[in-house]
Amino acid sequence: MAEVAPIVLVTGATSGIGTAIAREFAALGYGVMLAGRDEARGAALRDELESRGARVSAWYGDLGVPAAARALMAATAAALGGLDVLVNNAGIIHYATAEETTERQWRETMAVNLDAVFFLSRAAVPLLRKRGGGAIVNIASDWGLVGGRRAVAYCASKGAVVQLTRAMALDHAGENIRINAVCPGDTDTPMMDVEAVQRGLDPAAARRAAAAESPTGRLTTPEEVAKLVAYLASEAARQITGAAIPIDGGNTAG
């Protein structure tokens, strides 16, 4: 009997780190469920992965409500047959101090960065249990481990993701469900340019400054983050759970 390929669900898959993660898992032979908001980019990515022989499906919508998380899990099971790995990658940032942060910005940040992670992880556990276990990898941030200026809502949400990761890891370790967080620093994605504009900076200058501030002298690449995520989802990492691993060129070391 042919071995059944494992299934991964990647949120925020239509850009940046999420796209790199989807490509990495497809190259490893996984069936891939893409979740995001940009249907045009999602369709292009799906075509690309299918042209390389991957089984791919896609779902589009707002994941900040419980009903959407349940719908996405049901769609994944129906289209691909189950779930072995959930990668919670979708995220947003608003640059503002506490005084400057509006209620809308606070609630939107929490809905995307934290609520969606909780709702999706909660909905994923029964599917992972049916497969005899699996992995959840949450994309947090190095600013979930240390503070950052003028990013109050973002830091709070990513810090909460780290703690959610630890608590769920303890709850489900006995079920062979491993839950870890990856904490990227400045990563070479289009989102960096969006963030620079939010701060009133020239994007190219902001990239150079971020690279110069890193102990390694460069930005992290999306592909490097993707390979770490794939490792944490693999059997080689079967004794790693509840970890929050920075991939930030050493920024949090100091």
pLDDT, tens digit only, all 254 positions of the chain: 346 799 999 999 999 999 999 999 999 999 999 999 999 999 999 999 999 999 999 999 989 888 999 999 999 999 999 999 999 999 999 999 999 999 999 999 999 999 999 999 999 999 999 999 999 999 999 999 999 999 999 999 999 999 999 999 999 999 999 999 999 999 998 888 888 888 888 889 999 999 999 999 999 999 999 999 999 999 999 999 999 999 999 999 98
- Per-residue pLDDT at 86: 98
- Per-residue pLDDT at 19: 97
- Per-residue pLDDT at 3: 62
**What span, in angstroms and rounded, lies between the C-alpha atoms of 78 and 74?**
6
> DSSP string spanning 151-174?
BHHHHHHHHHHHHHHHHHHHHHGG
Task: To the nearest 10°, report the CA torsion of 140, 75, 241, 65.
Answer: 50
**What span, in angstroms and rounded, lies between the C-alpha atoms of 90 and 76?**
17
Catalytic residue among 30, 95, 154, 231: 154
- Asked if residues 26 and 1 have their Cβ atoms less than 8 Å apart, the reply is no
- What does the domain layout of the chain look like in residue ranges? 7-185+220-247
95 counts as catalytic: no
**Two tokens at 4?**
């059944």
> DSSP string spanning 4-16?
PPPEEEEETTTSH
CATH class as words, domain 7-185+220-247: alpha beta
pTM as predicted: 0.96
- Per-residue pLDDT at 2: 45
How far CA 199 is from CA of 94, 140, 151, 185, in Å, comes to 9, 21, 11, 17
**What span, in angstroms and rounded, lies between the C-alpha atoms of 58 and 35?**
6
Element of type H or E holding 210? helix 203-213
